Structure 1
Amino acid sequence: MKASIITIGDEILIGQIVDTNSAYIAKSLDKIGIATHEMVSISDEKDHILQTLYGLQNKVDVVIITGGLGPTKDDITKKTFCDYFDDVLVENDAVLVHVKDMIERIFNRPLTQLNKDQALVPSKCKVLFNAVGTAPGMLMEQDKTVFISLPGVPYEMKYLMENEVIPYLVNKFKRPFIVHQTIMTYGRGESLLAEQIESWETNLPTFIKLAYLPSPGRVRLRLTARGNDELKLKEAIQKEIEKLDDLIGDCIVGYDETESIEVVVGKKLKEFGQSIATAESCTGGKIAQQLTSVAGASAYFKGAIVAYETKMKEQLLQVNHKTITDFSVVSAEVASEMAVNCKELMQSDFAIATTGNAGPLQGDSKAKIGTVFIAIATPSKVFVEEFDFGQPREKVIDRAVSKALEMLYKEISKN
């Protein structure tokens, strides 16, 4: 089964907003065995919308459209639907009652004609009741394709997907199973990883596909199996993961998309009853941000000091002035003092420190641009590693954050 996802709105095309709806819809469809064939963003133009609908008719099983259902003149999806299906707009009594209740009771203002027009829907459509907004969804079928139109407001779209669209599609179509398994790896580049697992990848069963999803400092490996027996698919994937663990188990952090390294680090710290603090320069607080992005981080995260300026390293982190003048602010010695002093100041079990030249200018040090020193202070020692993360600046910072968390993870795992 195939689906196409269409987002309507000039605000997406000019980059004013980011389309998050398509990703959510694709994930929702994937869970019920419907593969997304394409995602397309188009303008608020009648001819463009019609052309897109004609192009998808009978080529995919499901077309889901978001956007263009508001009350203003630039929202033209409902009228365009009528043109495509040779239909007319009619007032839906149930929708009108709901809209009136929301406007008068929740928003505490009188109903306007624009609000009433929200209750207009194509006469042939199945109305998808939107309990959290005023714009109803619409579902219409033509030949072999189901067309579904949803509001562009994310929380309204999500409500309708969960409560109206998915139940309808599950009931209507007999679908294959799609099983995904993500393996989270850190500290090894995509090409090296591919070399190490080449033979394993070549011998995967034909119904299992492998995808590499690289980002700075990490590579996600996604196994996807498609078939009619869900249990057999899961068993087959598990057998392949066991083989993979024998090959690259030393760089595998987790086996779930949600098991990012900051999540796994947090679990280990809580398990051992330990804490962490950070002293950051070139990474600008991003390590702390990653760690605190996890719900419940207050159980193990003590705090952070972002000592960006050289003087702040001396004043806030009490780095010795002589250490800086003797070895440079970007050095192993300074990183080490930053970590040790941060650990003492925060009274934490572990501390991470970073200092480096992210670029594009060299700053207070003569160290090569791209050079980063990462120090980890543990309950019994401190160690530092030097890295050359190259350029551009964004890559240096992202790779430094990933590497710091990887170093911390490996150290905690020794327990």
Structure 2
Amino acid sequence: MSGEARRVALVEDDADLRASTAQVLTLAGFAVEAFAAAAPALAAIDAQWPGIVVSDVRMPHMSGIELFRALHERDAELPVILVTGHGDVAMAVDALKAGAWDFLTKPFDPQALVMAADRAATARALVLDNRRLRAAAQEDEASGLVGQSPAIRRLREMVPTLANADLDLFIEGETGTGKELLARLIHRAGKRARHRFMPVACAALPEALEDELFAAGGDASIASATRGTLFLDDIDQASRRLQARLTPLVEDRVLRSPGAREPLPLDLRVIATGGVGGAAGEGDLADKVAPGLFYRLAALRLRMPPLRERREDVPALFAHLAGAAASRLRLPLPVMSAAVRDHLSSHDWPGNVRELAHFAERFVLGLIEPAQPALPDAEGDTLPERVDAFERDTIVAAVVAAGGEIGAAIRRLGIPRKTFYYKVHKHGIDLPDLRKGGR
């Protein structure tokens, strides 16, 4: 969890209670900033406040409820825990419905405060992570190469230089790493951007389409890409026949069409892609591509790294892809849950960016299954503890399955509404966070 999120702004006008509460939170690992009144706390807690807030309700001049409302206007995702007397419970419940994180009644169990603060800090850390990821993705989006790993930074820095160098390029990398994206970025950044970027899927090109490719004219002809870029995707999987026809084109920049009287000169840049070469730099690639074609294309080679080599880029890349999917599908962007964040960091992503993009799309569509709760330890948990764990997980699962609709969840559980809310409070289930995708 982010250390910033374990900061607590404690607002309490009673000096003794303020000191004892601060001590409890400090011993639990929180960095506490104490305020004797709401006004100075409001002045110190702006929209960028990284932690959480714990505030008494009854205070002179400005109440904790008024403080919560003012803070909620600045940042609706800032967790505010209210501490109330018995006579203020109804008021606190209203604040909870309006977005307050939780409330405790005096005298409260110190452990209950620590647990509520822990849950609030966890949620705050997720919110802060989401904001940073969106900001990082937006910053990188202009270039199209999202990430801050050394390899991606180098490629991003090379794009402007390569764009106008007019050299043929060979981009190697595993499937789904974004080789075509890099090729398109290089095309768009240079003088050829006004002309066609023509992709050719070499791996499965039928002979009929191959003949159209080498025709003297037409939209499917290489001739239509003159002054632009010819993109030969998976050239190492092209048939020998296709490679033989491409070799003179790449070497001489002329199109020899069947039946044509004269070869047609072309002004082309060629960018090709293929799988990863061996340790010597060529490996299987030189065996799969005709030598005259390979060495002409491989004069300048670039490598797109797999995601497992740039794990630090996965969260920002995921945020970028999820944002793009939400925009395309015209859906709101969900809040990233702890389960999703754990999956992003622990999965190897063998399908690379393509697999991550599919995961981001399922995330936006709400098709990511919530993580299954761990079973209680058979030796370390008493029967009441196991029952409580089962009860809590059953309620959480019902709310998730009902899409956050409390009425539907209660019907699934088959219990009275009053019992539902009693158990929610008993087990410390944060319904607002659960509706946003938390647990």
TM-score range, shorter chain: under 0.3
Q: Which has the higher helix share?
A: 2
| Higher RCO (CA 8 Å, separation ≥ 6 residues) | 2
Q: TM-score, normalised by structure 1?
A: 0.25
Q: Which has the higher strand share?
A: 1
Higher-Rg member (1/2): 2
Q: TM-score, normalised by structure 2?
A: 0.24
